[in-house]
Structure 1
Amino acid sequence: MLDGPVTFRPLTRADLPLLGRWLEEPLVARWWAHETSPEALEADFGPVVDGTDPAEVLLALTGGRPFGLVQRYRIADFPEYVEELEPVVAVPPGALSIDYLIGEPDVRGGGAGAAMLAAFVADSWPRYPEAGSVLVPVAAGNVASWRALERAGFVRVAEGPLTPDNPVDPPDHVLYLLHRPPGR
């Protein structure tokens, strides 16, 4: 359950042990399949902390307590990803994408994911004035994830094969889109 509004702060190196614990949570590990050694966490998240990677990684907090992680990036900053997406869906110019997880099991359920996503997208519009939309691919089997997107206002726009985050999954993905609201 959420203990107040969702806020965000940038990931720091001091947060890497917490992130490692979250990535080992069975529900998170199922979909993220990420190495959790200190070296792997540094290799994958150190460049973001240093500002040398074009993605942003932020912790989601409620009541001052970190409970989740959200990564935000311009899809165009990763040309190989654009190439992979284009056969499945037209990538809108300037589109952002996000990856996310809720690491604290006691916060899952009750709409926490949808609240985190809605707050994060609202935070994204003023930070990325050129972005007219957010496009999010999700493994088709991750029903909780795509339902959270739907509750946050995203609309399914495509289905198709993409490289899965977890190699045990089939390539089946669903893609969700949210356009910038007028006046935002």
Structure 2
Amino acid sequence: MTAFAFRPMAEADLSDVVRWLPAGFDLAAARDKYLPWIRGEHPNHLTLILADGHPCGFAWHYRVGDHREYSLATGEPDAIGIDVIVGDPGVGDHAALLRQYLRQVVLTAHPDATRVISSPAADDLSAVRMLTGAGFTPLRDITVFPGEPAETLCAFTVGDTND
């Protein structure tokens, strides 16, 4: 069984992030996007994911109400939003990874949370499967910005378990 651990992301981790993101996203782009998050100048909170002690991906959490367009599209301004990118597909049970991230990071940072949401691309069936395996329920497709692809809004009600 894979042992997962989590720690705040540091600037030195951005070279791994570049490896896990689509081609064309270089270190300069990673610094531009993620350094404000790392420094606490942005409402998203970055976490490095470790599998058996090795970096394998990253995640972030945020109050949905801090992102106006997303809040309007989801109708969930009081929820906590999450996104997870697993860069190494061979790390084991992704649903278990997500359940641990929720318990150890998200709900610790937001102890008053009653709902957690995530909205992968509607055609990303593996992400939807990971979320449902961790106890999320797909609700409906949404579009955050006009002209962008649809996303499948998935919700987890705190107190529901799927361990």
TM-score w.r.t. structure 2 length?
A: 0.87
Q: Which of residues 117, 132, 144 is equivalent to 1:135?
A: 117
User: Tell me, which stretches of 5 or more residues in structure 1 are unaligned?
Assistant: 24-28
Equivalent residue, structure 1, for 2:159? 181
Q: Which of residues 55, 73, 83 is equivalent to 1:66?
A: 55
Q: Secondary structure at the match of 1:21?
A: helix
Query: Relative to 1, partners in 2 of residues 1:147 and 1:163: Cα closer, same or farther, differing over 3 Å?
Result: farther
Q: Secondary structure at the match of 2:43?
A: coil
Greater length-normalized contact order (CA 8 Å, ≥ 6 residues apart): 1
Sequence identity of aligned pairs in percent?
30
Equivalent residue, structure 1, for 2:141? 159
Contact 1:55 1:73 (8 Å CA) reproduced: yes
- Which runs of structure 1 show a deviation greater than 4 angstroms over 4 or more consecutive aligned residues? none
Q: Secondary structure at the match of 2:100?
A: helix
Give deviations 1:98-139, integer Å, cap 9, x for gaps: 1111112432xx52x211211111122232022111011111
Indicate whether 1:15 and 2:16 are aligned: no
Which structure 2 residues correspond to residues 11-160 of structure 1 after superposition, within 5 A? 11-23=9-21, 29=22, 35-83=24-72, 85=73, 89-91=74-76, 93-107=77-91, 110-111=92-93, 113-123=94-104, 124-160=106-142
Query: Relative to 1, partners in 2 of residues 1:140 and 1:65: Cα closer, same or farther, differing over 3 Å?
Result: same
Q: CA RMSD in A?
A: 2.1
Q: d(CA) in 2 for partners of 1:116 and 1:163?
A: 29
Q: d(CA) in 2 for partners of 1:126 and 1:50?
A: 20
Residue 53 of structure 1, CA deviation: 0.9
Q: d(CA) in 2 for partners of 1:106 and 1:116?
A: 12
Residue 148 of structure 1, CA deviation: 0.4
User: Tell me, which stretches of 5 or more residues in structure 2 are unaligned?
Assistant: none
Q: How many equivalent residue pairs?
A: 159
Q: d(CA) in 2 for partners of 1:3 and 1:128?
A: 26
Contact 2:58 2:85 (8 Å CA) reproduced: yes
Q: d(CA) in 2 for partners of 1:14 and 1:161?
A: 34
